[in-house]
Chain A
Amino acid sequence: MRSPDEAQNPPLLTDAQIEAAAEQLLSDFDGWAQEITRPVPVEVIAEHFLGYELVVSEDGVFADRDCLGGIAFEDETITINRSIEGDLGRYSFTVAHEIGHHVLHKEFYFDHLKKNTAKIICREVSSKPVIERQADRFAAALLMPSKIVASAVSSISKGSRPFEKPTTAELRTLAAKVVAISGVTNVSNTAMVNRLIDLGLVSGAKYQTGRPQDFYREVRDIGFNMRTIKWVFSSLKYPLRLLRKLRKSK
């Protein structure tokens, strides 16, 4: 088992709490480093500030390219899959994601998960249980601090809010400008687009990355919660299966 089951009740954290935790860590780090370094040097934070050993590997569970990174609390090791080291955005996001597990879930791991899960909590491409989504949000907040991003957007829009219902191309252009102005150069364009949407700096975007999060975000915005969405899906399963059978029989 690579990631803990949602049924094990991970800590309930709001986006605001996760944002605050990332801001606090960054502020502590800046104080320790005695300078403000941007883009946020996540490797330095992980290794030299938090004391983790950073390893880049293609061995063991990391032979699977879907396991992008992992954290082993007991060994104080963060491992990044070799397959993503050429991609600065993905590499930095994965390191920041693992830092997120350290900040948000270390206590939870030792209290609840240690007995039932593997030593390494893996960041996987396909699987997104709650703690993975929380660590993703933390990573975005750490790499793209809300104040810096908002300030860059404000300088582009000159105070007004023209970013309503942008097309995908407009969104990508805006994200590229924000990256250039803010100096947050170790993130991908997609990560910045998602950040702009998550921070509410653009609205009504029809942007689709094809990830399940896009769908969840849209239905959440309408007012549904996760439980309702899951219930809708599970109740549709049987009629859909029946329909498929009927079609085949014809």
Chain B
Amino acid sequence: MKDTFGGSLKALRAQKRMGLRELGRAIGISAMHISNLEKGKSMPSAELVERLATELEGDLDALLHLADQIDPAVVDVIQSNPQVVPSFLRSASNLTPAQWEKLQKQVLKMSKENDKK
């Protein structure tokens, strides 16, 4: 069940020992909406996944992936660099996981240096 969005949501809620209504009230949606998400009857928006992940302290990226959604922050990066980012991603399509990790470290380093400036 954990490999579905609903299953993961339910597992996270159980971990936090939260009720359906309690969670719904905490993030401003109905208990039935939570119930439907858990049963796979509906899928959430990226924004809702973010609220759920924050409330339940879940892994945002993993939940977004299960919900077939993209983090709005990622969409912002793509939209503000409409040529460079898609081109970069296309050229990186055959990278290995190890190379992705190396690349990510490099990007983080550059990002930190930019923050210092």
* Residue pair A85, B30 in contact (C-beta under 8 Å): yes
Contacts A57-B35, A85-B30 given: A47-B14 contact, CB under 8 Å?
yes
B32 touches A58 (CB 8 A): yes
Q: Determine if A82 is an interface residue (Cβ-Cβ < 8 Å).
A: yes
User: Which of B17, B32, B39 makes the CB contact (< 8 A) with A85?
Assistant: B32
Of A33, A43, A48, A58, the residue contacting B21 (CB under 8 A) is A43
Q: With a CB–CB cut-off of 8 A, which chain B residues contact A56?
A: 20-21, 30-32, 34-35
Per a CB cutoff under 8 Å, which of B17, B20, B30 touches A54? B20
Q: Say whether, besides A47-B14, A48-B14, A41 and B31 are in contact (CB < 8 Å).
A: no
Contact status A55-B35, CB under 8 Å: yes
Render B57-80 as a binary contact track against A, CB cut-off 8 A, 1 for contact: 000000000000000000000000
B18 CB contacts on chain A under 8 angstroms: 43-44
| A91 close to chain B: CB less than 8 A | yes
Which residues of B lie under 8 Å from residue A42 when comparing CB positions? 19
Is the CB–CB distance between A57 and B22 below 8 Å? no
Chain B residues with CB below 8 A from A48, complex form: 14, 17
Chain B residues whose CB sits within 8 angstroms of the CB of A82 once the complex forms: 30, 32
| Interface size grouping (class) on chain B | 10 to 19
Say whether A43 contacts B32, CB under 8 Å: no
Main secondary structure of the interface of B (DSSP, over half): helix
How many residue pairs link A and B with beta carbons under 8 A? The number is 44
User: Cα distance A85–B31 when bound, in Å?
Assistant: 7
Tell me which residues across on chain B come within 8 A of A57, comparing CB atoms: 32, 35
User: Which residues, 201 to 221 on A, are CB-close (under 8 Å) to B?
Assistant: none
Which chain B residues lie closer than 8 Å to A58 at the CB level? 32
Bound CA span A85–B20, Å = 10
Residues of chain A with a CB closer than 8 A to B20's CB: 43, 47, 54, 56
Taking CB as reference atom, which chain A residue is nearest B39? A55
Instruction: Determine if A41 and B32 form an interchain contact, defined as CB atoms under 8 angstroms apart.
Output: no
In the bound complex, CA of A43 to CA of B16 (Å): 13
Give the CA-CA distance A150 to B21 in the complex, in Å: 29
Q: Min CB distance, B77 to chain A, in Å?
A: 37
A 45-83 to B, binary, CB cutoff 8 A, 1 in contact else 0: 001100000111110000000000000000000001010
Residues of B within 8 A of A43 (CB): 18-22
Binding site for B on A (CB under 8 A): 33, 41-44, 47-48, 54-58, 80, 82, 85, 88, 91
Residues of B in contact with A (beta carbons under 8 Å apart):
14, 17-22, 24, 30-32, 34-35, 39
The 7 closest A-B pairs by CB, nearest first: A43-B19, A56-B32, A56-B31, A56-B35, A85-B31, A82-B32, A55-B35
A-B contacts, 8 of them at CB < 8 A, read: A41-B19, A44-B19, A54-B35, A55-B39, A57-B32, A57-B35, A58-B32, A85-B30
A sample of 10 more A-B contacts (CB under 8 A), given A43-B22, A54-B35, is A41-B17, A42-B19, A44-B17, A44-B19, A48-B17, A55-B39, A56-B34, A82-B30, A82-B32, A91-B31
